[in-house]
């Protein structure tokens, strides 16, 4: 490895570490005092960088919030992939298992709970507004995951049917996370039915 390569690798590691420290600090504030209490200047001071450097890395406070949500949901998506892999050629079983898992773990996650309820700030749901208004990346990532598995399993499936199924399942699943009116098992069963009706395989 050349000195140039070593410096580039060191910079990449430092940047990755900076992002993790920033997101960890923001997560602590959200859990303790709510999203409204997150201040870019305070976060920068806590991790030992300038506010300008923090903005250069993340952009706005909302961009930081989006990054926090995406990191938090990364583990959810890994779990979904595992459940899809356990149901080769079984659309109903895969969607049911994956949806039930996702809704269950999302409801047990403390950050998701804070987003949905505004606790511990007595009803500050500003983070929920961020998620629902600017959740395109989250939806896109989830849709890409489902679409990739479906097209691997049924490469000859009609693309329009696949698109409709993926959009319906992903958006309904997110809705059930945000508005928990059914049990995870009921959500899984409902979404499996939707998937099979949209995509007859």
The CATH number for 30's domain is: 1.10.357.10
Distance in angstroms (rounded) separating the CA atoms of residues 94 and 173:
14
Q: What percent of the chain is modeled with pLDDT above 90? A: 56
Distance in angstroms (rounded) separating the CA atoms of residues 170 and 98:
11
Distance in angstroms (rounded) separating the CA atoms of residues 84 and 82:
6
When divided into structural domains, the chain yields a total of 1
DSSP of 75-136, one letter per residue? Answer: HHHHHHHHHHHTSTT-HHHHHHHHHHHHHHHHHH-HHHHHHHH-TTTTS--HHHHHHHHS-H
Which residue has tokens 């990364």? 74
Count of alpha carbons within 13 Å of 170, Cβ hemisphere only?
Answer: 20
Range of the domain at 60: 3-198
Please determine, for residue 194, whether its predicted confidence score (pLDDT) is greater than 80: yes
Q: How far is CA 105 from the centre of its chain?
A: 12
Regarding predicted confidence, which is higher, 135 or 95? 95
The pair of three-digit structure tokens given for residue 111, joined into one six-digit string: 């950050």
Distance in angstroms (rounded) separating the CA atoms of residues 60 and 63:
5
pLDDT single digits (tens) 99-112: 999 999 888 888 87
Q: Nearest Cα to 68, choosing from 8, 125, 28?
A: 28
pLDDT interval class at 191 (50, 70, 90)? very high
pTM greater than the 0.85 cutoff: no
Most confident of 13-17, 109-113, 152-156: 152-156
The pair of three-digit structure tokens given for residue 75, joined into one six-digit string: 């583990």
pLDDT single digits (tens) 34-54: 888 899 999 999 999 999 999
Which residue has tokens 């892999």? 85
Say which range, 58-62, 105-109, 115-119, 172-176, has the weakest mean pLDDT: 115-119
Q: Which whole number is the average pLDDT over 4-23?
A: 81
Average pLDDT, whole number, for the chain? 87
pLDDT interval class at 160 (50, 70, 90)? very high
In contact, 129 and 65? CB cutoff 8 Å: no
Regarding predicted confidence, which is higher, 189 or 70? 189
pLDDT single digits (tens) 110-146: 887 777 666 655 556 666 666 666 567 778 889 999 9
Q: Look at residue 135 in the predicted model and tell me its pLDDT.
A: 60
Please determine, for residue 186, whether its predicted confidence score (pLDDT) is greater than 90: yes
Q: Look at residue 33 in the predicted model and tell me its pLDDT.
A: 85
């Amino acid at each position: 490895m050349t000195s140039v390569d070593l410096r580039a690798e060191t910079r990449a590691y430092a940047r990755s570490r900076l992002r993790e420290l920033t997101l960890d600090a923001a997560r602590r504030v959200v859990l303790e005092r709510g999203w409204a209490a997150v201040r870019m200047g305070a976060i920068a001071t806590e991790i030992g960088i300038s506010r300008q450097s923090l903005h250069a890395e993340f952009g706005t406070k909302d961009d930081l919030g989006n990054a926090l949500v995406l990191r938090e949901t990364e583990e959810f998506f890994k779990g979904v992939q595992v459940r899809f892999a356990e149901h080769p050629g079984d659309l109903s079983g895969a969607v049911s298992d994956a949806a039930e898992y996702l809704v269950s773990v999302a409801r047990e996650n403390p950050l998701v709970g804070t987003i949905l309820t505004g606790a511990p700030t007595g009803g500050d749901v500003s983070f929920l507004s961020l998620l629902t208004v600017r959740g395109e990346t989250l939806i896109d990532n989830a849709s890409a995951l489902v679409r990739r598995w479906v097209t691997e399993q049924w490469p000859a499936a009609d693309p329009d049917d696949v698109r409709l199924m993926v959009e319906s399942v992903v958006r309904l699943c997110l809705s059930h996370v945000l508005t928990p009116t059914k049990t995870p098992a009921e959500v899984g069963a409902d979404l499996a039915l939707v998937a099979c009706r949209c995509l007859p395989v």
